[in-house]
Every structure is written in C-alpha cells, then in structure tokens.
C-alpha cells in the first residue's frame, strides 16, 4: 500500500481561514527550506484569496511571492486553488484571460492547480483544465461537497466521471464547510475509487469538529492524499493538524513517512506568528472553536462571520437566528448550490435581505439575478418558474457555457495598464481585480521613485500639493 500523501495548507488555506489571508511573503520565506525537507505531497501556497489579499492589504505582488517560494522549494510540488472560469475573482472571465492566467501560473513555478466550480458545472472547468495540461501542469478536478436532497453518492460519481472525460490528472473532494462525516466520507471515497482510476485527495475544514475522523475513514477507503495544516494554524475553520495525523498513521499500513521532529521545527516557527496575529485581533478565538451550526445549517464558518457582519451594519444582529433559518430556504429556492464562493455570498446576502426587509425577494442583488439568468452556470437542480419570475421576471435564461458569451479581453486590459505595466503578469492582476491592482501599481511606482502614491492622479500626473 502506498504511503498517504499530505498537502500542507499553512501558506494558503490555513491562514486564509484563520487570519483573513494576512500572512506576508516575508513571514513565509524563512521557513520554506525546512518545509521543503519534510516530504510533503505538495505545499498549497497560492490561489484562493491570497492573490486579492496580497495586492489589496499587503501591497505585495502575488506573482513575486510565487517566484520567491518556488526558488526556495526545490523538492516539493507547489499547489494552488483556482475557481475555474472565475480564476481568483468572483465573475466569469473570457477564455483568453483564463488560458493566459494558467499559463503564467505554471510558467512562474506552479505544479498542481486544483480547479473547482461553485456549482459543480464541469463546463466551467474545461478551459482551465485544458490550459493547465497544455502548460505542463497537473490539473486536479474538484467535486465541491455539500449536503442536500440532490447531492447523492450517484450524483458525485457522475461529476467524477465528467472530470475523467475532461482529462484531469487527479480528483479532489472539496468540503469547504466541514460537512463530511466519517462514514459518509468512507462511502464516497470508496465509490470513487471503484469507478475512477485516478488519485483521490480529500480537503475539509475542522469547523464542525469531524475532520480528523473523516480523514481516517477517507484513508481507510483508499484516499491517496489529504490536506492538513501545521498545528499553530490548524483546527477551527482551518484544517486538522498535520502532526496529529502523521502520529495517528505512524506504524500502520498508511504511515506517511513524515518526521515529527522536522514538523515540530515548522510548528515552532509559526507559533509566534500566530501569537502576533492573535494579539493584533486578526485571529479571533471564536474561529478556533467547534461550530455546530455548520452541521445544522450547512453554512461554512467564513459565511457565518459574514452574516454577523452584515447584520451588525444594519443594527439587526437580533435577527441572526432568523437569517440562519432563511439560508437553507433560499438555497433550496436557488437550486441547492453548494455554499462556496461566490454562491455562499449570494445566498447569505439574499437571506439577510429577505429577513430585514420583512418580505422574501423584495430586494435582490444583481449577482443573484445574474445567477438565475444562468450567467454562473447550471444550478444542481432547475430553479422553479415561480422563483425565476420573482427574481428576473420574463428575462431569458441562458443554457450555454457562460464564457461562450464573453469576448476576448486580454489586449484591452493590456492597453488600459500600459503606463504601469512592468511584467506580463500585471495584465492578469489587473484583469482579476482592476481597481485593487491599479492601486497596487501606483503604490509600486511610488515606492520605486520614493514619492507619495496619493500624489499621482489617474493620468499619472503629479497633483499640486
């Protein structure tokens, strides 16, 4: 039996889940050499919210982070999370942008790209999977796991078969809300291993307290790789601790072969970083505890905190329980989408609006209208005519792959930032987050010439002081 592989998430999902993706490249680099000695299956260190956060909050070039980590991680594969046709943003991008983004990611050192679609609409993975393989990367197709009357074992097996037809190199079961229970995990992994001849990786969060047990059952059922986080950045809304799982599997047929002493060096490095963010208030102790609401309402931890924030802004926190009950109703109305970005934000916001206005679907965000029009892809089950009518009236619904309706835009973006462009990758940063990237480009230029970036106007001319 092959050793179980471990993907370490501390440089991406762990700090995204616990400290809002605020860890800087400078905090990561000193420990990369040690992480590289462990023998991990891969290091997840890019994608997800890291790209946006690096530009927006840290004034860092995410491409530079990738290059710097690649230079130090000489033995271990690097891995990223990509939202299919959404790339790292919240809308669909044209095929030329998706293809170029993937090509540049692999060209700058990325090995494995985990590609998912919030609706499990495999059509939205086609371009990214093809581009990854064309660039020589490993394309990992993803099954987004959720619970609903329509998300059955057979439905997941059907998605896996579609991913195989697409030509993926491996399959990940992505459980963003910590909903996988141990025996459901065993059954799902076992079925997938029976019907597809590809490595199976499992990703979950500790939110509901089930994750370590679910990993053990996944491994017994034949899972090849699981995602864990080094202990200071584990548990709560993050992943199970790396060291604990390594110790649990030691001297069994599933032994990972990883050295606990080396892992302890990594843990000792990250402990003061965790304490720093805790002292700053960035790490809220609440996200480290088990949240049973995740099991009752199937709501990811990050979505729960977002609901609280929205209600606080409206001075209506007393409606929290009512909103939690409304979330599953809205989700059913919208065809049972998995609650992962961007669907979690859409369902959550609509539930809040339904409760605080006192009338369901009185106010409807534009993104929800776009979703009902088919602009994000195909819902897991068709939306009823009654709900469609309430949300978009008589507007038509598209049934093609949404990106088929988008014109190429790469040249347009390149032209728009020519004044600030220092590398080809800048075009992709701008395509993903136009305003945030432009602010970063101005900051970068100001740093280069040691001037105050607020002195530069839109035309890059100096404001009179």
pLDDT digits (tens, 9 = 90+) for 188-226: 999 999 999 999 999 999 999 999 999 999 999 999 999
Q: Show which of 219, 254, 285 is a domain's final residue.
A: 285
Q: Is pLDDT of 454 > 80?
A: no
Digit-coded pLDDT (tens) for 3-62? 999 999 999 999 999 998 999 999 999 999 999 999 999 999 999 999 999 999 999 999
> For 350-371, what is the mean pLDDT?
96
Do 314 and 350 have their domain in common?
Answer: yes
pLDDT of residue 313: 86
293 within domain boundaries: no
Do 106 and 208 have their domain in common?
Answer: yes
pLDDT of residue 72: 98
Going by DSSP bridges, is the β-strand pair 170-174/138-144 parallel, antiparallel, or unpaired?
parallel
- Placement of tokens 């040691």 in the chain: 450
Q: Show which of 255, 285, 315 is a domain's final residue.
A: 285
Q: Is pLDDT of 459 > 80?
A: no
Q: Is pLDDT of 282 > 70?
A: yes
464 within domain boundaries: no
> For 218-243, what is the mean pLDDT?
97
Residue 144 phi/psi, 5-degree rounding, is: -80, 120
Digit-coded pLDDT (tens) for 82-116? 999 999 988 999 999 999 999 999 999 999 999 99
Nearest to 117, CA basis, from 92, 138, 139, 94: 92
Query: Quick check: 123 and 166 in contact, CB under 8 A?
Result: no
Cβ partners under 8 Å of residue 242, min gap 6: 6, 8, 228, 229, 230, 231, 234, 258, 263
pLDDT of residue 461: 44
Do 118 and 172 have their domain in common?
Answer: yes
124 within domain boundaries: yes
> For 73-81, what is the mean pLDDT?
98
Digit-coded pLDDT (tens) for 313-334? 889 999 988 998 999 999 999 9
Instruction: Give 456's pLDDT tier (boundaries 50, 70, 90).
Output: low
Query: Quick check: 179 and 213 in contact, CB under 8 A?
Result: no
Mean predicted lDDT score pLDDT of the chain: 93
Q: Is pLDDT of 464 > 60?
A: no
pLDDT of residue 1: 57
Q: Alpha carbon of 381 to those of 150, 184, 338: distances in Å? A: 7, 22, 11
Do 268 and 306 have their domain in common?
Answer: no
Instruction: Give 452's pLDDT tier (boundaries 50, 70, 90).
Output: low
Domain extent, residue 428, equals 408-455
243 within domain boundaries: yes
CATH number, domain containing residue 320: 1.10.472.90
pLDDT of residue 124: 98
Do 304 and 190 have their domain in common?
Answer: no
pLDDT of residue 118: 94
Instruction: Give 249's pLDDT tier (boundaries 50, 70, 90).
Output: very high
434 within domain boundaries: yes
**Percent share of the chain, pLDDT over 70:** 96
Q: pTM value?
A: 0.94
Instruction: Indicate the range of 153-162, 189-198, 291-300 predicted with least confidence.
Output: 291-300
Q: Is pLDDT of 410 > 90?
A: yes
Do 265 and 310 have their domain in common?
Answer: no
Instruction: Please provide the distance, in angstroms rounded to a whole number, between the alpha carbons at the two ends of the chain.
Output: 70
Nearest to 333, CA basis, from 397, 383, 373: 383
Do 36 and 63 have their domain in common?
Answer: yes
**Percent share of the chain, pLDDT over 90:** 84
Do 375 and 430 have their domain in common?
Answer: no
Q: Structural domain tally of the chain?
A: 3
Do 304 and 445 have their domain in common?
Answer: no
Going by DSSP bridges, is the β-strand pair 225-228/77-82 parallel, antiparallel, or unpaired?
unpaired
Query: Quick check: 291 and 304 in contact, CB under 8 A?
Result: yes
Instruction: Give 175's pLDDT tier (boundaries 50, 70, 90).
Output: very high
Q: Is pLDDT of 460 > 60?
A: no
Do 27 and 123 have their domain in common?
Answer: yes
Q: Is pLDDT of 252 > 80?
A: yes
Q: Show which of 237, 257, 285 is a domain's final residue.
A: 285
463 within domain boundaries: no
* Distance between CA atoms of residues 402 and 422, nearest Å: 32
462 within domain boundaries: no
Do 388 and 415 have their domain in common?
Answer: no
114 within domain boundaries: yes
> For 372-399, what is the mean pLDDT?
96
Instruction: Give 373's pLDDT tier (boundaries 50, 70, 90).
Output: very high
Q: Is pLDDT of 292 > 60?
A: yes
DSSP state of 284: -
CATH number, domain containing residue 108: 3.20.20.70
Do 278 and 389 have their domain in common?
Answer: no
pLDDT of residue 287: 83
């Amino acid at each position: 039996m092959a050793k179980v592989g471990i993907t370490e998430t501390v440089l991406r999902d762990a700090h995204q889940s616990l400290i809002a993706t605020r860890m800087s490249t400078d905090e990561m680099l000193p420990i990369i050499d040690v992480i590289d000695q462990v023998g991990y299956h891969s290091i997840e260190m890019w994608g997800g919210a890291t790209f946006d956060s690096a530009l927006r909050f840290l004034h860092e070039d995410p491409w530079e982070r990738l290059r710097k980590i690649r230079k130090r991680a000489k033995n271990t594969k690097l891995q990223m999370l990509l939202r299919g046709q959404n790339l790292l943003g919240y809308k669909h991008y044209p095929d030329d942008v998706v293809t170029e983004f993937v090509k540049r990611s692999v060209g700058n050192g990325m090995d494995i790209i985990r590609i998912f679609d919030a609706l499990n609409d495999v059509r939205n993975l086609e371009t990214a999977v093809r581009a990854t393989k064309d660039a020589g990367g490993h394309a990992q197709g993803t099954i987004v796991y959720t619970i609903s009357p329509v998300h059955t074992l057979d439905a997941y097996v059907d998605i896996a078969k579609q991913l195989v037809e697409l030509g993926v190199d491996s399959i990940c079961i992505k459980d963003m809300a910590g909903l996988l229970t141990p025996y459901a995990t065993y059954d799902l992994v076992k079925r997938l291993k029976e019907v597809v001849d590809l490595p199976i990786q499992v990703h979950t969060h500790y939110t509901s307290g089930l994750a370590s047990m679910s990993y053990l059952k996944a491994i017994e059922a034949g899972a090849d790789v699981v995602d864990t986080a080094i202990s200071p950045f584990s548990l709560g809304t993050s992943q199970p601790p790396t060291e604990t799982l390594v110790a649990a599997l030691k001297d069994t047929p599933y032994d990972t072969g990883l050295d606990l002493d080396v892992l302890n060096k990594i843990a000792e490095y990250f402990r003061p970083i965790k304490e720093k963010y805790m002292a700053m208030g960035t790490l809220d102790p609440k996200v480290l505890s088990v949240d049973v609401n995740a099991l009752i309402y199937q709501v990811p931890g990050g979505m729960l905190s977002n609901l609280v924030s929205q209600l606080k802004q409206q001075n209506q926190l007393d409606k929290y329980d009512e909103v939690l009950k409304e979330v599953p109703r809205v989700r059913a109305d919208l065809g049972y989408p998995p609650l992962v970005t961007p669907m979690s934000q859409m369902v959550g916001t609509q539930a809040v609006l339904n409760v605080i206005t006192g009338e369901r679907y009185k106010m409807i965000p534009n993104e929800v209208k776009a979703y009902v029009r088919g602009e994000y892809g195909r819902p897991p089950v068709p939306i009823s005519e009654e709900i469609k009518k309430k949300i978009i009236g008589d507007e038509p619904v598209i049934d093609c792959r949404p990106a088929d309706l988008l014109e190429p835009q790469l040249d347009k973006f390149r032209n728009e930032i020519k004044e600030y462009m220092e590398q080809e990758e800048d075009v992709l940063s701008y395509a993903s987050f136009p305003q945030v990237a432009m602010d970063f480009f101005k900051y970068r230029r100001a740093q280069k010439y040691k001037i105050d970036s607020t002195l530069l106007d839109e035309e890059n001319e100096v404001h009179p002081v």
